[in-house]
Amino acid sequence: MHEPGDEVGPAGTDAATGDARAALLQARVETASQIAALSRDLDGVIDASLDSNADDEHDPEGATIAFERAQVAALLVGARRRLAELDAALERLDAGTYGTCERCGSVIPAERLAVRPFARTCVGCAR
């Protein structure tokens, strides 16, 4: 069992690991909430387009409906991708590899992980 202050892989101390886990879990909750909201928005756009006689090809408002549907769908895809990245980061944390660059094996700076908690690579390898 680790004592506070013991090294725990590249993530640092137990406290640092706990902080990383808390940040990842908070980001996961926020992302899941965003997915739920975007799903409701997309359902609303789809339902609204079904209830109207809008013909996307011939109706002047059709392009707007199609654009809105595509935009919300793209945001939803991005949010789902972020959720998957956060889950993968939690798995790396459990495996003891969180904070280690997957390409070169160096430590990912804490500043990068603070901005991008699911980062898989260091700044140099990300370029």
DSSP string, the chain: -PPTT-BBTBT-BHHHHHHHHHHHHHHHHHHHHHHHHHHHHHHHHHHHHHHS---TTTSTTHHHHHHHHHHHHHHHHHHHHHHHHHHHHHHHHHHT-TTB-TTT-PBPPHHHHHH-TT--S-HHHH-
Percent of the chain with pLDDT over 70: 78
Q: Best-predicted range by mean pLDDT among 2-16, 56-70, 110-124?
A: 110-124
Q: pLDDT tens digit string along 97-125?
A: 999 999 999 999 999 999 999 999 999 99
Q: List, in order, residues 6 or more apart from 67 with CB less than 8 Å away.
A: none
Question: Does the predicted TM-score (pTM) go above 0.85?
Answer: no
